[in-house]
Amino acid sequence: MKENKLVEETRLSAMKINGRFALLLLFFLISITVQTEAEVITLTPDTFSDKVKEKDTAWFVKFCVPWCKHCKNLGTLWDDLGKTMEGEDEIEIGEVDCGISKSLCTKVDIHSYPTFKLFYDGEEVAKYQGPRDVESLKTFALEEAEKAAEKAQLGSDKEL
């Protein structure tokens, strides 16, 4: 009888541990999913203007269409850039599907795919035309964002 009780208690303890482990695993998976989604932000005609006008924030945006072989050849490059840039203050990585957002792409003068543009305080400040690797894209975004921030600071100092 004591053996049965001991076996039952051991089984219940194991179930509690497994349940806690499963719960922790679930929270971990949710946190990874939420973090991944936040790294590259999909912009639409409804969100684009408000997002790129955020004060003191640079937006490095990829404009693509799903049928473009050059866009497909990028593979995970843009997501990889988003992950790399996650810790950078005041630089956001965005993407626009020009197949869905044709009017937006026309408005920002997109004529070929993929096109990469950097915006600061709502204004286009640079178009990227260099190598397509994470380190080159990151360097470009950091340098151009810094130049744009300095220019904006000089402009606001003149207003004072």
Q: Is the bond into 114 cis (omega within 30 degrees of 0)?
A: yes
Question: 30 pLDDT exceeds 60?
Answer: no
Question: 44 pLDDT exceeds 50?
Answer: yes
Residue 61 lies in a domain: yes
Give the tens place of pLDDT for each residue, 17-29.
665 544 443 344 4
Residue 118 lies in a domain: yes
Residue 10 lies in a domain: no
CA distances from 49 to 6, 24, 44, 110, 130 (A): 66, 39, 9, 16, 26
Helices (H) and strands (E) in the chain — how many of each? 6, 5
Question: In a 3-state reduction of DSSP, which class is residue 66?
Answer: coil
CB contact at 8 A, 91 and 145: yes
d(CA 66, CA 69) in angstroms, rounded, equals 8
Residue 132 lies in a domain: yes
Give the tens place of pLDDT for each residue, 119-144.
999 999 999 999 999 999 999 999 99
Indicate the pTM of the whole model. Answer: 0.74
Residue 107 lies in a domain: yes
Question: Would you please indicate which residues are annotated as catalytic (active-site) residues?
Answer: 68, 71
SS3 of 89-122:
CCEEEEEEECCCCHHHHHHCCCCCCCEEEEEECC
Instruction: Give Cβ neighbours of residue 44 (< 8 Å, ≥ 6 apart).
Output: 96, 100, 101, 104
pLDDT for 68: 96
pLDDT for 38: 47
Local confidence band at 2 (pLDDT 50, 70, 90 cut-offs): low
Residue 28 lies in a domain: no
Residue 7 lies in a domain: no
CATH number at residue 53: 3.40.30.10
pLDDT for 7: 62
Question: 106 pLDDT exceeds 80?
Answer: yes
What is the percent of the chain where pLDDT is above 90? 68
Find the domain containing 108 and state its range: 41-157
